[in-house]
A and B are shown apart, each in its own frame.
Chain A
Amino acid sequence: MIRFDNVSKVYPKQTRPALRDVSLEVEKGEFVFLVGSSGSGKSTFLRLILREERCSHGQVHVLGKDLARLSNWKVPQMRRQLGTVFQDFRLLPNKTVGENVAFAQEVIGKSRGEIRKSVPQVLDLVGLGGKEDRMPGELSGGEQQRVAIARAFVNRPKLLIADEPTGNLDPQTSVGIMKLLDRINRTGTTVVMATHDQNIVDQMRKRVIELEKGRLVRDQARGVYGYQH
Chain B
Amino acid sequence: MRAQFVLSEIGVGLRRNLTMTFAVIVSVALSLALFGGSLLMSDQVNTMKGYWYDKVNVSIFLCNKSDAESDPNCAKGAVTDDQKQQIKTDLDKMGVVQTVTYESQDAAYKHYKEQFGDSPLASSLTPDQMQESYRIKLKDPQKYQVIATAFDGRDGVQSVQDQKGILDNLFGLLNGMNWAARAVMALMLVVALMLIVNTVRVSAFSRRRETGIMRLVGASGFYIQAPFIMEAAVAGLIGGTLACAFLLVARYFIIDHGLALSEKLNLINFIGWDAVLTKLPLILATSLLMPALAAFFALRKYLKV
What residues of chain A have their CB less than 8 Å away from a CB belonging to chain B?
50, 72-73, 76-82, 84, 90, 92, 103-104, 106-112, 115, 151, 155
In the complex, per-residue mask of B175-219: 1 if CB is within 8 Å of any chain A CB, else 0: 000000000000000000000000000000000011011111111
Question: B224 — which chain A residues lie within 8 A by C-beta?
Answer: 107
Question: B212 — which chain A residues lie within 8 A by C-beta?
Answer: 90
Given contacts A76-B221, A90-B209, contact A106 B5 (CB under 8 A): yes
Number of A-B contacts (CB under 8 A): 56
Name the 10 nearest CB pairs between A and B, nearest first: A80-B218, A107-B219, A79-B218, A104-B217, A76-B220, A76-B218, A112-B1, A84-B216, A107-B214, A106-B5
User: Do residues A79 and B1 form an inter-chain contact, with CB atoms below 8 A?
Assistant: no
User: Do residues B209 and A79 form an inter-chain contact, with CB atoms below 8 A?
Assistant: no
Q: Which among B214, B218, B220 has the highest number of chain A CB atoms within 10 Å?
A: B218
User: Do residues B1 and A111 form an inter-chain contact, with CB atoms below 8 A?
Assistant: yes
Closest to A113 in B: B1
Rounded to whole angstroms, the CA-CA distance of A104 and B5 in the bound complex is: 12
User: Do residues B217 and A77 form an inter-chain contact, with CB atoms below 8 A?
Assistant: no
* Shortest Cβ gap from B196 to chain A (Å): 24
Rounded to whole angstroms, the CA-CA distance of A78 and B220 in the bound complex is: 10
Question: B214 — which chain A residues lie within 8 A by C-beta?
Answer: 103, 107
Q: Is B2 an interface residue (CB 8 A)?
A: yes
User: Do residues B220 and A73 form an inter-chain contact, with CB atoms below 8 A?
Assistant: yes
Closest to B217 in A: A104
Question: A73 — which chain B residues lie within 8 A by C-beta?
Answer: 220-221
Number of B residues whose C-beta is below 8 Å from A? 18
Q: Which among A72, A81, A84, A106 has the highest number of chain B CB atoms within 10 Å?
A: A106
Question: B221 — which chain A residues lie within 8 A by C-beta?
Answer: 72-73, 76
Q: Is B223 an interface residue (CB 8 A)?
A: yes
The listed residue (A72, A78, A82, A106) touching B1 by CB distance below 8 A is A106
User: Do residues B210 and A92 form an inter-chain contact, with CB atoms below 8 A?
Assistant: yes
Given contacts A79-B218, A80-B218, A90-B216, contact A107 B209 (CB under 8 A): no
Question: A106 — which chain B residues lie within 8 A by C-beta?
Answer: 1-2, 5
What are 14 contact pairs spanning A and B, CB under 8 A? A72-B221, A73-B221, A76-B215, A76-B221, A77-B220, A78-B218, A79-B215, A79-B216, A84-B216, A90-B209, A90-B212, A104-B217, A106-B5, A109-B223
Q: Which among A107, A111, A112, A151 has the highest number of chain B CB atoms within 10 Å?
A: A107
Question: A108 — which chain B residues lie within 8 A by C-beta?
Answer: 217-219
Rounded to whole angstroms, the CA-CA distance of A110 and B223 in the bound complex is: 13
* Shortest Cβ gap from A157 to chain B (Å): 9
Rounded to whole angstroms, the CA-CA distance of A77 and B155 in the bound complex is: 90
